[in-house]
């Protein structure tokens, strides 16, 4: 199998961490976003949306979208399970993962699109007011997470799951490239971050 990736991109990193947790090795293929390789006719045959990550199977079939790829990997390598072991876990982990995507990742994305890195590219018309609002929303969500981690060791309770992978990838991207690092006073959030960052998979 091949995974189309670009260094620093948060969604491919989610898949790489997931694969590392499973102990699954795949060939990593660099798709240079700066050169527009994700928009070439050849790549669009793999994913018409022109986005990474894309998982290419040995028979040349492809799967796009990070969670869809992770679900495929979980189906063929069920242990250690990262989406849940029983009906309740399956539902609860899914809900926590979606909350992070919809309530945190979307706000980080808005701040990224309207921030200085994208601004230097000159490709989109930026809206400073949108960035200011999304920055506030990200920081509020960090505060919410800090309160949740007072009682929970991981995002979905007592064990590591795909929801922790989603949160780690988002927080690291926001901190390193968007300028939205959690406040140092959010000790519970930072305790969680230190714990999951120490896992070997986090280096993927």
Give the confidence band of 31 by pLDDT, cuts at 50, 70, 90.
very high
- pLDDT value of residue 165: 99
pLDDT bucket at 167, cuts 50 / 70 / 90: very high
Model pLDDT, residue 119: 78
Question: Model pTM?
Answer: 0.95
User: Strand 27-30 and strand 2-5: pairing?
Assistant: parallel
Residue 69 and residue 53 in contact, taking contact as beta carbons nearer than 8 Å: yes
Are 34 and 41 in contact by the 8 Å Cβ rule? The answer is no
CATH class of 2-76: alpha beta
Reduced to 3 states, what is the DSSP secondary structure of residue 184?
coil
**For the chain, percent of residues with pLDDT exceeding 90:** 94
- Domain extent listing, the chain: 2-76, 87-203
In angstroms, the CA 80 to CA 68 distance is 17
Q: State the CATH architecture for 87-203.
A: Up-down Bundle (1.20)
């Amino acid at each position: 199998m091949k995974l189309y990736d670009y260094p620093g991109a948060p969604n491919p990193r989610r898949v790489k961490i997931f694969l590392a947790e499973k102990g699954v090795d795949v060939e990593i293929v660099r798709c240079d976003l700066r050169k527009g390789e994700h928009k070439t006719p050849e790549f669009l045959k793999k994913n018409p949306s022109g986005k990474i990550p894309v998982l290419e199977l040995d028979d040349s079939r492809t799967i796009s979208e990070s969670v869809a790829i992770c679900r495929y990997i979980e189906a063929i390598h069920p242990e250690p399970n990262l989406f849940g072991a029983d009906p309740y876990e399956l539902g609860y982990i899914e809900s926590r993962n979606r909350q992070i995507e919809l309530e945190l990742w979307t706000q980080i994305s808005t701040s990224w699109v309207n921030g200085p890195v994208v601004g230097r590219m000159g490709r989109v018309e930026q809206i400073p007011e949108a960035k200011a609002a999304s920055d506030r929303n990200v920081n509020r969500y960090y505060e919410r997470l800090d309160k949740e981690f007072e009682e929970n060791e991981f995002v979905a309770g007592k064990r590591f799951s795909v929801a922790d992978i989603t949160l780690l990838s988002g927080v690291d991207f926001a901190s390193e490239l968007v300028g939205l690092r959690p406040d140092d006073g959010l000790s519970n959030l930072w305790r969680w971050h230190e714990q999951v960052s120490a896992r070997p998979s986090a280096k993927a």
